[in-house]
Amino acid sequence: MQGSVENEGRTGNDGRADVPAGVDPTQPSVARVYDYYLGGSHNFESDRVFAQRVLAQMPDLVSVAQENRAFLRRAVSYLCAQGVDQFLDLGSGIPTVGNVHEVVHAVNPAATVVYVDHDPVAVTHSTELLRDVPHADVIGGDLRDVRAITGHPLVRDRFDRRRPVAVLLVSVLHFVGDDDGPADFVGEYLADAARGSHLVISHASDEGRPDASSAQAVYNQNRSPNRMRMRTGAEVEKLFGDLTLLDPGVVRIPLWRPDSPDDVRPGAELYPGVAGMARKD
Amino acid sequence: MGGDRVDPAALAADWTTAVLGTSYVSMNRRDLRRYLTGLATRLVASFDAPEWDRTVAAGVGRLMVAAHFTDARSLERTLAVVAEHLAPAGADRTSRLAALQGALAAGYAEALRERTLAEQERISMAAFAARVAAEEARWASEARYQAVFAGAVIGISVAELDGRIVQVNEALCAMLGYDAGEIAARPIYEFMHPYDTSDNWRQVREMIAGTVDHLRMEKAYYRKDGTELWTDLVVSLIRDQAGEPRYLVAMVEDITERHLLQTRLQHQALHDPLTGLPNRALFFDRLEAALEDEYGVPGVCYLDLDGFKAVNDTLGHDVGDQLLRTIAERLRAELAPEGHLVARMGGDEFVVLVEDASDPAHMRRVAERALETVRRPVRVEGNEIRVSASIGIVGRDQGGSGAAELMKAADTTLYWAKNDGRSRVAEFDRDRHRTDVARFELSAQLPEALRRQEFFLEYQPLVRLCDGVATGVEALVRWRRETGERLGPDRFIPLAEETGLIVALGRWVLTEACGQARRWHDAHGGERPLMSVNVAARQVREPDFVDDVRAALDRTGWPAGALQLELTESDVMTAGGGPLETLGALADLGVRIAIDDFGTGYSNLAYLRTLPVHELKLAGPFVTGIGPGGRNGRGGTAGTEAVLSSVIGLAHTLGLSVTAENVETAEQHGRLRSLGCDTGQGWFLAPPAGPARVEPLLGRPLPRLRRSPVPGGERRRPATG
Ligand SMILES: C[S@@+](CC[C@H](N)C(=O)[O-])C[C@H]1O[C@@H](n2cnc3c(N)ncnc32)[C@H](O)[C@@H]1O
């Protein structure tokens, strides 16, 4: 179940290596499938067919995706409140509503956001959307290649490395297999970051959720956009390395600093995903 | 009507709970609730607004989509919650509720469709662009390309810059009814349609030239079978990596259905769901159009069923609805073929728009036919129902220039028809309308006039005929308006009765009159003058009336025995129960009761006997019939006098004293005296005047009795009700 993640990101490849993952609309893509879960229409037939297969195993995946976005909003709002004004959003996906730069700029219009995704369609679309937005950019790249990302001219340009940065890995690391050594490369992102930098992770988890395991299995079959590796809370905690884990630690996503008790809906304790935030002290 | 007020905050609270989690929106519960409170406030306001405006609810639907309520469940639950909160506002608002839900759903659907299309288009373009970048523009010829968009829901075609179509997808072929082979290689210009504008094609040329990157239009095509296809067309220019224009990519969405739907919605928006007749909105459109034609003389028959409420109440709403449907259909069948527009204004009101109403007789005939149609019995669920209608007719030349004014006049006219006894036609009458309006304005000013003390009293002496001594006065109320204009009671007392202000006004009159009497008596002593005050039927029906009288007496220190209240004969005769008890209670207090205007109504002396009455005041005609100036028809002077004599005799037998009003000549005065009438009042004796002028006359024989009467002046007896 924990096999290696296919780099090309798609099966049934006709062998043309010059076609990057995600460009072929006849093949589902992680970003577009996720958009479909969120009720968007930035997707093609292949994405919808695949999403339906997953939803058949786990009908409430739709609300799971919603909760994940809600977490993203809470985490980013929290960071803004801490005065963080540089955001590196890894695996940012297809823009929809409540995008990171929107949440950030509502608080601090001068703050910087750089999105990273390896899906060219997501990147092209984001480029289009951000054309007239100051202080927000997108680059195409594989988040596992830390040097390529942090060394990207745009990232070097935009970020002041002497000041704190927030690195967001929201709902993306379950697309990274263990072979890629996630704990290592995640740690690298903050290795030479300033003190006061933050790492945010949300992650799919099938702890206590057999239906989530079945959904994961669908991702690991043929015609999948990407293999999936869900992780337990303990495993995710390890991804934070020696950073200082902030309260309430790694918890089920809806329980991570809800805006109000009203926002915690029934079933939160068994929500199939965990999240946490840590700070570099 | 309308029931309880709808609370937007409560609606928003339930709404939030209902839609939470149905779609992905980027708001927490509190923010969502705030957002929905804004929407709920607009919805409720538009629901309650006098004029229905569908754009508000449609806008709310759109805003839901803007917040990313993209799942149909969000709409479904929204409609349910809205119905739950708005439905109890009253059964009469059900059609408004339906319209509101419809507009909301339509706005939502439209916005969602737009959003969907926009997102589809964006993602497709992103995919194209990504491919162009990845494969150096070789993609278009690839076999795989054909598969790429095969499953796309929108039609896609790619054309070279010379207009030659190089690729089409299946969806587009299906829309147009052609095979891919039949379209390929044809120039896009072959798909021109008569509805295209030259502007559309100019933009395409600009795009080829590279000055425009994007264009969007609604465009019609002919399908292969000749039928019409309506599309939402987006064309984008694809450039190569050097930025040079390379291809035109068209994304085509079939909106033929939507066109039909829009036509249908338009029909729905303009027709009454119950009867299928044109509704108010359409009627006004047509009326306005007719009024715009400066030579046209449109007219309106405004029709309202008589007693429809009774049908609803006794046989139920289903029967009522069925009745309305039948009548609507009959009216339509009867009048529409002649080119008249029959519309339903709401409830049991219908309206017929007659485009050419230049001939009033023709208008009347239309109205009569409508009346006949409505009178035909209707069978509903075994009941044979007969209803009638009242109709108000207004033509353009009378009703003012605008549609709204015309309809207001029609409404007034309809009211006349109803008031004149139903099942009839009334025609607009400008003078009557003007009077109505003036009356209305006057009655609206009454409360303020009372507050500003614009009312004042005059007093007319009551003269003992045997010795000519003024033993009392009748208090007469007047109104000096801000403008300085002086109005007699006949102008405003009926209005005060209608509006109920008579109660407060009457209270003031009583206190003022008794106070004045008290001041006179304090100044001169001697026998107390009788203060006679008019009282309206409405006052006597007030449960507090006796208390009011007692309070006035207490406050002024005027004894009950020196107060006389005048009620008209008809008021007393038709009064039952409570008012009669009131009279008894007043008499017990010691107040004198006089029957005013005696002889104009029933003149039932035998009945009067059973009432606590002390005085008869003979109406004007009794008196004016006396002497050479007598205007009493048949019986002549002698006949009148005989009647008068017997009335006086009878009254005396019953223990009632008699006052003659309108004594205007020396002769009348002489005759009344000789007939044994107790008291006289009138211009010959003394006109009404302010307290200072009246004061010296009281308690002594009138000097005037030695002079001849002043002619002219206020002829009719000024009464206060
Ligand atoms: C489920 S989406 C999450 C989007 C967004 N972060 C959120 O939480 O709403 C995951 C995204 O990560 C991207 N992704 C997956 N693996 C990646 C990788 N190795 N490098 C960069 N992006 C990746 C996918 O293309 C997709 O857009």
What CATH number is associated with residue B371?
3.30.70.270
For B583-621, what is the HEC assignment? HHHHHHHCCEEEEEEECCCCCCHHHHCCCCCCEEEECHH
- Residue B711 confidence (pLDDT) above 60: no
Taking a C-beta distance cutoff of 8 angstroms, is the pair B299, B354 a contact? yes
CATH of the domain at A256: 3.40.50.150
Residues B185 and B306 in one domain: no
Work out how many domains chain B is built from and give that number: 4
- The answer to whether the CB of A31 is under 6 A from ligand 1 is yes
Residue by residue, DSSP assigns B675-701 as HT--EE-STTT---B-HHHHGGGBTSB
How confident is the model over A256-280, as a mean pLDDT? 91
Is residue B496 pLDDT above 70, yes or no? Answer: yes
- Please answer whether residues B349 and B303 qualify as being in contact, where contact means their C-beta atoms are separated by less than 8 angstroms: yes
Query: Which secondary-structure segment (H or E) carries B253?
Result: strand B245-254
Q: In this structure, is the dihedral angle defined by the CA atoms of residues A55, A56, A57 and A60, taken in order, positive or negative?
A: positive
pLDDT value at residue A1: 31
> Given this model, what pLDDT does residue B602 score?
59
Kindly give, in sequence order, each residue whose CB lies less than 8 Å from that of residue B432, ignoring residues fewer than 6 positions away. Answer: B416
Asked, for residue B127, whether it belongs to a domain, the answer is no
Spatial distance between the Cα atoms of A176 and A105, rounded to a whole number of angstroms: 30
| Distance between Cα A67 and ligand 1 center (Å) | 16
Residue B42 · residue B63 · CB < 8 Å: no
What is the rounded radius of gyration, in angstroms, for the C-alpha atoms of chain B? 41
Residues of A in contact with B127 (CB under 8 A): 23, 25, 44, 121, 124
- What is the Cα B257 distance to its own chain's centre? 39
Cβ-defined contact of A42 to B123 (cutoff 8 Å)? yes
pLDDT band at A235 (very low <50, low <70, confident <90, very high): very high
Q: Are A205 and A273 in contact (CB under 8 A)?
A: yes
Q: Which residues of B213-245 are buried (b: 16+ CB within 10 A; e: fewer)?
A: eebeeebbbeeeeeeebbbbbbbbbbbeeeeeb
**Mean pLDDT, chain B, integer:** 84
Looking at residue B710, its pLDDT comes to 42
Averaged pLDDT, B282-306: 88
Q: Which residue has the tokens 């044994």?
A: B676
Which residue type occupies A187?
G
| Residue A26, domain member (yes or no) | no
Contact B154, B168 (CB under 8 A): no
Mean pLDDT throughout A227-249? Answer: 94
Ligand 1 center–CA A68 separation, angstroms = 13
With cut-offs at 50, 70 and 90, classify the pLDDT of residue B718: very low
Residue B134 lies in a domain: no
Tell me how long chain B is: 721
Average pLDDT of chain A, as a whole number? 87
> Measured between beta carbons, which residues in chain A are less than 8 angstroms from residue B29?
259-260, 262-263
Do B283 and B254 share a domain, yes or no?
Answer: no
Residue A252 within any structural domain of the chain: yes
Q: Compare all CA atoms of chain B with the CA of A259 and give the residue at the minimum distance.
A: B28
Question: Pick the residue with more confidence: B244 or B562?
Answer: B562
- Establish whether residue A54 lines the binding site of ligand 1, counting it when its CB lies within 6 angstroms of any ligand atom: no
| Residue bearing tokens 């934070």 | A240
Shared domain check, B615 and B664: yes
Do A42 and B119 count as a contact with CB atoms less than 8 A apart? Answer: yes
Residue A68's SS3 state is helix
A144 in a domain, yes or no? yes
DSSP helix/strand/coil, B388 = strand
Statement to judge: residues B599 and B628 lie in one domain: yes
Tell me which of A89, A117, A224 to substitute to probe ligand 1's pocket, judged by most ligand atoms within 8 Å of the beta carbon.
A117
Contacts of A254 in chain B (CB under 8 A): none
Question: In this structure, is the dihedral angle defined by the CA atoms of residues B662, B664, B668 and B672, taken in order, positive or negative?
Answer: positive
pLDDT at B498: 82
Distance A94 CA to ligand 1 centre (A): 9
Q: pTM for the full model?
A: 0.50
What's the number of domains chain A is made of? 1
Dihedral (CA of A13, A17, A23, A24) sign: negative
Give the position, in ligand 1's atom list, of the atom nearest the Cα of A33.
1
> Mutate which of A14, A30, A125, A256 to test chain B, going by most B C-beta atoms within 10 A?
A125
Tell me the pairing of strands B228-239 and B214-222. antiparallel
Domain with A129, as residue range(s), is 62-208+229-279
Does ligand 1 come within 6 angstroms of the Cβ of A142?
yes
Q: Which has the minimum average pLDDT: A158-167, A197-206, B388-397?
A: B388-397
* Torsion sign, CA atoms B588, B592, B597, B600: positive
pLDDT at position A22 is 56
Q: For residue B603, what pLDDT is reported?
A: 61
Q: Are strands A251-252 and A273-279 parallel, antiparallel or unpaired?
A: antiparallel
In terms of DSSP H, where are the helices of B4-52? 8-19, 29-48
Same domain, B275 and B241: no
Rounded Cα distance, B656 and B669, in Å? 20
pLDDT of B399 > 60? The answer is no
With respect to residue A67, please indicate whether it lies within any of the assigned structural domains. Answer: yes
CA distance B25 to B63: 12
User: Has residue B137 been placed in a domain?
Assistant: no
pLDDT band for B629, please (50, 70, 90 cuts).
very low
Residue B28: pLDDT above 50?
A: yes
B10 band by pLDDT with thresholds 50, 70 and 90: very high
**B186 and B116 both lie in a single domain:** no
Contact with chain A for residue B153, Cβ under 8 A: yes
One domain, residues B377 and B233: no
- Tell me the residue type at A8: E
The verdict on a CB contact (< 8 Å) between A98 and B71 is no
Query: Residue B122 is nearest to which of A22, A45, A128, comparing CB atoms?
Result: A128
Domain end call among B120, B141, B168: B120
Which structural domain range is residue B451 located in? 443-703
pLDDT digits (tens, 9 = 90+) for B562-618: 999 999 877 776 656 667 788 889 999 999 999 888 876 656 676 777 788 899 998
pLDDT band per the 50, 70, 90 thresholds, residue B436: confident
pLDDT, tens only, A84-123: 999 999 999 999 889 999 999 999 999 999 999 998 889 9
A23, A39, A262 ranked by CB distance to B134: nearest: A23
What is the structure's pLDDT at B89?
Answer: 60
Q: What is the pLDDT of residue B443?
A: 83
Looking at the partner chain, which of A19, A74, A102 has a beta carbon nearest the beta carbon of B135?
Answer: A19
Of the candidates B30, B124, B130, the beta carbon closest to that of A260 is on B30
Q: How far is the CA of A78 from the centre of ligand 1 (A)?
A: 22
Q: Identify the pLDDT of residue B635.
A: 45
Clarify whether residues B277 and B254 are in a common domain. Answer: no
Tokens of B161: 């810059």
Counting one residue from A and one from B, how many pairs have CB atoms under 8 Å apart? Answer: 113
Which among A20, A96, A263 has CB closest to B28?
A263
In a domain, A101, yes or no: yes
Report helix angle B94-135 to B72-86, nearest 10. Answer: 160
In a domain, A164, yes or no: yes
Query: Are the C-beta atoms of residues B355 and B338 closer than 8 Å to each other?
Result: no
Kindly determine whether residue A97 and residue B71, on different chains, have CB atoms separated by under 8 Å: no
Of B260, B279, B300, which residue constitutes the final position of a domain? B260
Residue type, B453: Q
- SS3 for B127-191, per residue? HHHHHHHHHCCCHHHCHHHHHHCCCCCCEEEEEECCCEEEEECHHHHHHHCCCHHHHCCCEHHHH
* Joined tokens for residue A43: 């997707």
Tallying the residues shown for chain A, one arrives at 281
pLDDT band, very low/low/confident/very high, at B194 (cuts 50, 70, 90)? confident
> Residue B232 pLDDT > 80, yes or no?
yes
B717 within a domain of the structure (yes/no):
no
* Distance, CA of B651 to chain centre: 51
CB of B665 within 8 A of CB of B710? no
**Neighboring chain A residues of B126 at a CB cutoff of 8 Å:** 121-122, 124-125, 128
Evaluated on CA atoms B489, B491, B497, B502, the torsion sign reads: negative
Q: Residue ranges of the alpha helices (H) in B316-359?
A: 317-335
Q: What angle do CA A4, A6, A11 make, to 5 degrees?
A: 130
Nearest to B126 by CA among A33, A24, A69: A24
pLDDT digits (tens, 9 = 90+) for B136-178: 445 444 544 554 566 667 888 888 888 888 888 888 888 999 8
Confidence of residue B638 (pLDDT cuts 50, 70, 90): low
Residue with tokens 């004042």: B456
Residue at B50 is within a domain: yes
Q: Kindly identify which residue of chain B lies nearest to residue A254, measuring between CA atoms.
A: B28
> Do B533 and B662 have their domain in common?
yes
- B297 DSSP 8-state letter: B
Kindly state if the Cβ of A171 falls inside 6 Å of ligand 1. yes
CA-closest residue to ligand 1 atom 23? A91
Contacts of A25 in chain B (CB under 8 A): 124, 127, 148-149, 152
In angstroms, what separates the C-alpha of A70 from chain B's closest C-alpha? Answer: 7
The answer on B349 and B215 residing in a single domain is no
Question: Both B550 and B454 in a single domain?
Answer: yes
Question: Are residues B236 and B339 both part of a single domain?
Answer: no
User: What letter would DSSP give residue B341?
Assistant: E
Tens of pLDDT, residue by residue over B41-76, are 999 999 888 888 889 999 999 999 999 998 888 998
Q: How close does chain A come to B117, measured CA to CA in Å? A: 8
Chain B: residue whose CA lies nearest to A118: B130
Q: Does B72 touch chain A if contact means CB atoms closer than 8 Å?
A: no
Buried b (16+ CB within 10 A) or exposed e, B63-99: bbbebbbbbeebbebbbebbeebbeebeeebbebbeb
Interface with B, mutate which of A8, A44, A50, A129 (most B CBs under 10 A): A44
* Residue B125 lies inside a defined structural domain of this protein: no
The residue out of B235, B260, B285 marking a domain boundary is B260
Task: Read off the pLDDT of residues B80-95 as tens digits, 9 standing for 90 and up.
Answer: 999 888 876 655 677 7
Stretch A128-132: mean pLDDT: 85
In which residue are the tokens 């200082």 written?
Answer: A244
Q: How far is A205 from chain B (nearest CA, A)?
A: 20
**Beta strand B563-568 with B530-534: parallel, antiparallel or unpaired?**
parallel
CATH (domain of B162): 3.30.450.20
